[in-house]
Amino acid sequence: MDSFFSSVETVRHPELVGLPVVVGADPKEGAGRGVVSTCSYEAREYGIHSGMPISKAYRLCPDATFLPVAMALYQSVSGRIMRILRSFAHVDKFQRVSIDEAFLDVKANTLEDAIGIAREIKEEILEKEKLTCSIGIGLNKLVAKIASDMEKPDGLTVVAPDCVQEFLDPMPVTKIPGIGKKTEQMLKGIGVTTIHELREHDLRRLVSRFGKWGYRMHALACGIDGSAVEEDRTVKSVGREITFDEDTSDPDVIYDSIDALADGTHKALLNAGCLFRTVSVKVRFEGFDTHTRARSIGFMSSDPELVKRISKELVGEFIGKNKKLRLIGIRLSNLRVMGAESEIGDGMGARQTSIYEFIG
């Protein structure tokens, strides 16, 4: 979908069509906390983008219309759109990726058939929801995904089977899903900046440097992606986070917030009918320096007090460093559906099996 949240807002507020619209936290005239969730294409012309601090977005375009996130509305519209998309998929070859994105395997006999189906999809979504979408057509998920981003908004990009390499080669390696800034810098260090250079690079060197991911990156650079279009209905993780109204180093404020976040995360865990094995915390300092810590226990659990205890221990590492916290978050992962476990721990004497760290 094209700029989904802001586009839904312009449907219910037609007077905003053609104007810069920003959906996210309250900017509070430049003193607001939080970030931009999404923005209209008119707002992007001012340099605003998703994930940007809302205060910076306000400075870039103070005349924009700033709206709060209406998630219940967006989920409702998304549900209707996904039903439309599912109706065009071959049998059950449908995969919802996020609230505004999906893969469809339409099993078209010819490329022209696929183009016809794409146009029907666009017409039905526009007619029923007054929203535009951008579609990419390719032989696999990799090519279709990259193509879908090429001509936004309201785009339709078709990559014929014999044009895949020509399509991919000139692009930067970051167009390949999974290659982020860190991997980009590592590839740049060995002289690889484009997909063509990645495809031509010595496979043994890639594997030596990146392990199995080296194989995968090279295959994707060659336009090879055998991943199936299928829905994974399992919940991978649940979490909550909060941005403080004011940066704080007060332990009482931080630990009280952890208790509230843990309760909210635990509620989401129960709603999903799951147990957890890993607790992760995220802290963001003033200046947006962000760190994540995680700890796994030796059993499956649903104990909220265990979530609080581990979270406080992990966050405690960052308290008292003469730096104030802007945001904290808690996430539970390594989930298992209740009833599928053979043993449930109560949190007493938890055996720590692994600690891993990411610094972003």
12 three-class SS = helix
Q: What is 78-162's CATH number, 3.40.50.1400, 3.40.50.1820, 3.30.70.270, 3.40.228.10?
A: 3.30.70.270
pLDDT at residue 352, rounded to an integer: 32
pLDDT at residue 66, rounded to an integer: 97
Helix 251-271 vs helix 304-316: angle between axes, to the nearest 10 degrees?
Answer: 140
DSSP state of 351: P
The DSSP bridge partners found for residue 296 are 278, 354
CATH of span 169-221: 1.10.150.20
Listed residue (65, 66, 67, 48) closest to 57, CA to CA: 48
pLDDT at residue 133, rounded to an integer: 98
pLDDT at residue 209, rounded to an integer: 92
The pTM for the full model equals 0.73
Catalytic machinery residues: 101
3-state secondary structure 124-180: HHHHHHCCCCCEEECCCHHHHHHHHCCCCCCCEEECCHHHHHHHHCCCEHHHCCCCC
pLDDT at residue 334, rounded to an integer: 92
Instruction: Tally the residues of the chain.
Output: 360
Hey, where are the domains in the chain? 4-69, 78-162, 169-221, 237-359
Overall CATH class of domain 237-359: alpha beta
- What's the distance, CA 53 to chain centroid? 17
Encode the chain (360 residues) as per-residue pLDDT tens digits. 999 999 999 999 999 999 999 999 899 988 887 789 899 999 999 999 988 899 999 999 999 999 998 888 998 999 999 999 999 998 879 998 888 999 999 988 899 999 999 999 999 999 999 999 999 999 999 999 999 999 999 999 999 999 999 999 999 999 999 898 889 999 999 999 999 999 999 999 999 999 999 999 999 999 999 999 987 767 789 999 988 888 899 999 999 999 999 988 988 888 778 899 999 999 998 878 889 999 999 999 989 999 999 999 999 989 877 789 999 999 999 998 776 544 334 333 333 323 222 222
Element (H, E) at 278: strand 274-285
pLDDT at residue 71, rounded to an integer: 82
pLDDT at residue 360, rounded to an integer: 27
Q: Is 287 exposed, middle or buried (CB count within 10 Å of its CB: 0-12, 13-18, 19+)?
A: exposed
CATH of span 4-69: 3.40.1170.60
Both tokens of 302, joined, read 């649903």
Both tokens of 52, joined, read 């940007």
Cβ atoms within 10 A of the Cβ of 113, count?
Answer: 12
User: Maximum CA pair distance of the chain?
Assistant: 64
